[in-house]
Structure 1
């Protein structure tokens, strides 16, 4: 079945679904409405949407097909007239599966309820009577805590919520300069990945490169003046047709992360946006052939399959601590000073501020940024793999599951966090001081030469 292009709009009393399905027979359309779930089938197209609030298929509802434009317009009545559907532009959220049915809760029966239950057993089959009799007698079988889980396969999982594997089996046969794990990418454990990443960052750290960029920073100062259009644009948001077409091709999975995993996803999102902010700022939002490499090398979850550490938490409001945010930002700062073309602490600070501003714009703007990253990676013959194991799922999760309130609050908190040069572990202040001394000597030398010439 083909998922058609579609848009959703609303009036005070209805929701209108416009579906592009050219060259079909209008008589074959099948529409089913089950509270919030709406499915439309007209061969070879199938569309299933999960709305936030219930709809009705009543006498005021309609379906009209325009063969000249190829659009099927389905109008459904809101169960609660006047209710506003705020997420009709979030296609990934509409396409996401309906949440799983929760497990039934255990109900304690009173004595009278037990008597009624016993009487009812006489009308049941022998098998069901035995089951209910067992419940009445409260049979207890001996139970033991299961032993430790034994990992039988050397292959490890990675990517979004660790749901992927097998993408790096032949990584040594590709020109993947982002991968820091080499042939062990499929077998490294999480602690091993982090150890390799930190070691590689220290090995790639170049004091002379940093001092040169600190001394000759004219171009970097120009980069600092640039403002990201997504961070300052206050116009009404609307996805482009190209963006919506990309969203329709995203996977449709139901994500059931724990609170700790969800906490980790928000932290990983910071590293994605930091890399995006660096690439955007250094190219003035005009990607180059090196952009895919830049995006990949700056994200620990890409280069080492090492997303930020997840701190176990039972806080449903996700109040991120300053330590949480500092640890995540330090990893991004370090990579921005060890690998790409421009290695400047003040540039990293500008990217840090960009991330805070982008988060404060909410999920719609963030998904637009992720889609731009995805577009860059998808057009690379090697680095498209990171789009598959991270960005596809992240685009869906942010649009369908992430909380705007949490994202906005996270952006505010992030801008309040201050990263010190000492936190990076590379003696930046001493290097900068040494650079200033050398610059002072050169300036004095130039002055003396000028005096001699007079």
Structure 2
């Protein structure tokens, strides 16, 4: 079955679903409404949407097909007129499977029995009730196998040297032949599939230390006229005050995303929000240095600045204590430091002031909510998807992240995170390369050169 392109809107009393289904027979359209679950089937198209509130298929509902445009328009009545339906523009969230609802089943207590035959009959009836209950639960869960989140604190069982990585450590095998590709950002070499999390972090830090160039940093610190122009530039996604609306291209990209539902613990979800900070940092650095006009180097730049890509080393907070999402100053600093280090080591422009400006961009994007964040991820994903090597990072991170942002992320948490990022203080001492000493040496050298020029002019 083909999932058609579609969009959703609402009126005071109805929800309208518009589907692009060219060359169909209108008489074959089948529509089923089960409270929040709506399915539309017409060969070869099938669409299943899970709304936030219940709908009705009554006399006011309708389905109209325009053969000239190939558009099927389905109008369904709201069970409670005037009720606002949230997130109708988050297509991946609408496509996500409906979660199983808690169900209370009546129980039967056997008080007494007359004989063994009756006991057998009661036992058979009990088994039959159990089977019916299991079938009912399976049907309620859309015939999906039940899943439970593993208990935290248990040591992982590993029967292979291969390690998992990517979004929620769900992926492996993408870097098995990395040495035979032109992957210039991979810092794990041929051991990418076997490195532990601790080894990934150690190799990343070692590589950053080896590649940091004092002279390059000093040159950009002293000759920063163009960097100041980059810092003064304003990102259009931050300055745009018009009502948000996804473009047709963005809607098409969202329809291509995988249909997945993620089961994450609270600590895993917390770490995903922190990883989002590093993704947006890489995105904002490239956007600012390219003036939001991607270059052939953009895929390399974003991949190289993202620790989760280049070393498979996303942030993992050691400070999370459970409960509501609270982001401490310490964990925000620990999340940002690798991004700062990489921005001062690998790209063309290496400026601490530029890194600070990118941090403020990240905070502003987070505060605008998940729709703006989703737009940034889609732009980042589009750049990587069209690269012949770095597309793998889109597969193991951005595909899943884009689905998760729509279906699971919350604007309230993103705002809290944005507030924490804008207040974060990343001291130069945390970077680890004596940046203050390097800058002081550069200024002193400039002063000596100025004094020498003045003495020469006086002697003349």
Same fold (TM over 0.5): yes
CA-to-aligned-CA distance 1:316-369 (integer Å, 9 cap, x gap)? 320111111010011111111111111110000000000000000000000000
User: What is residue 135 of structure 2 aligned with on the other side?
Assistant: none
Q: 1:115 Cα deviation (Å)?
A: 5.1
Give yes or no for contact 1:277–1:354 (8 Å, CA) kept in 2.
yes
Which residue is equivalent to 1:246?
A: 253
Alignment of 1:187-202 (within 5 A): 187-202=194-209
Correspondences of 1:109-148 after superposition (within 5 Å): 114=109, 116=111, 123-126=121-124, 128=126
Q: Deviations over 1:161-196 (max 9, x none)?
A: 011111111111100011111111111111111111
- Alpha-carbon distance between aligned partners in 2 of 1:283 and 1:445, rounded to the nearest angstrom: 38
Aligned mates of 1:43, 1:202 — CA distance in 2: 59
TM superposition shift of 1:128: 4.4
Matched, 1:398 2:405: yes
Secondary structure of 1:186's partner?
coil
Quick one: structure 1 residues 446 and 302, their matched pair in 2 at CA, closer, same or farther if it must change by over 3 Å?
same
Per-residue Cα deviation, 1:274-324 (whole angstroms, up to 9, x for no partner): 000100001111111100000000010000001101337453320111111
Name the structure 1 match of 2:76: 76
The alpha-carbon distance between structure 1 residues 12 and 437, as it changes in their structure 2 partners (threshold 3 A), is: same
Residue deviations 1:181-212 (CA, integer Å, cap 9, x gap): 11111111111111111111111111111111
Give the corresponding residue for 2:286.
Answer: 279
TM-score computed with the length of structure 1 as normaliser: 0.91
Q: What residue number does 1:173 align with?
A: 180
Change in 2 beyond 3 A, CA 1:215/1:254 = same
Q: Among residues 154, 157, 162, which one is paired with 2:161 in the alignment?
A: 154
Quick check: 30-39 or 120-129, which moved more? 120-129
* DSSP-derived class of the 1:72 partner: strand
SS of residue paired to 2:344: helix
- 2:13 is the alignment partner of 1:13: yes
Residues 282-361 of structure 1: matches in 2 within 5 Å?
A: 282-311=289-318, 313=320, 315-361=322-368
Deviations 1:226-270 (A, max 9, x none): 011111211100000000000000011001100000000000000
**Aligned residues of 1:224 and 1:347 also touching (Cα < 8 A):** yes
Contact between 2:8 and 2:17, CA under 8 Å: does it hold in 1?
yes
The one of 248, 251, 262 equivalent to 1:255 is: 262
Compute the displacement of 1:118 (Å): 7.8
What is the aligned partner in structure 1 of residue 456 from structure 2?
449
Alignment partners' CA distance in 2, 1:318 and 1:292: 32
Residue 101 (structure 2) pairs with residue 94 (structure 1) = no
Query: What CA distance in whole angstroms lies between the structure 1 residues aligned with 2:83 and 2:275?
Result: 35
- Which residue does 1:144 correspond to in 2? none
Corresponding position of 1:367? 374
Please give the secondary structure, in 1, of the residue aligned with 2:8: strand
In structure 1, runs of 5+ residues without a counterpart are 133-146
Q: CA deviation at 1:81?
A: 1.0
Match of 1:45 in 2: 45
Shift of 1:447: 2.0
CA 1:116 to 1:202, structure 2 compared with 1: closer, same or farther past 3 Å? farther
2:267 touches 2:322 (CA, 8 Å); kept in 1?
no
Is the CA contact 1:121–1:129 (under 8 Å) kept in the aligned structure 2?
no
Q: Secondary structure at the match of 1:176?
A: coil
Q: Is the 8 A contact 1:259 1:313 kept in 2?
A: no
Q: 1:210 & 1:411 partners in 2: Cα distance?
A: 28
Q: CA deviation at 1:150?
A: 4.2
Measure the CA separation in 1 of the matches of 2:410 and 2:37: 21
- Seen in structure 2, the aligned counterparts of structure 1 residues 118 and 247 have a Cα distance that, compared at 3 Å, is farther
Partner of 1:140: none
> Secondary structure of 1:124's match?
helix
CA RMSD between the two structures:
2.2
User: Following the alignment from structure 1 to structure 2, what is the Cα–Cα distance between the partners of residues 130 and 372?
Assistant: 54
Give the TM-score of the pair, scaled to structure 2: 0.90
Greater mean alpha carbon deviation, residues 250-259 or residues 208-217: 208-217
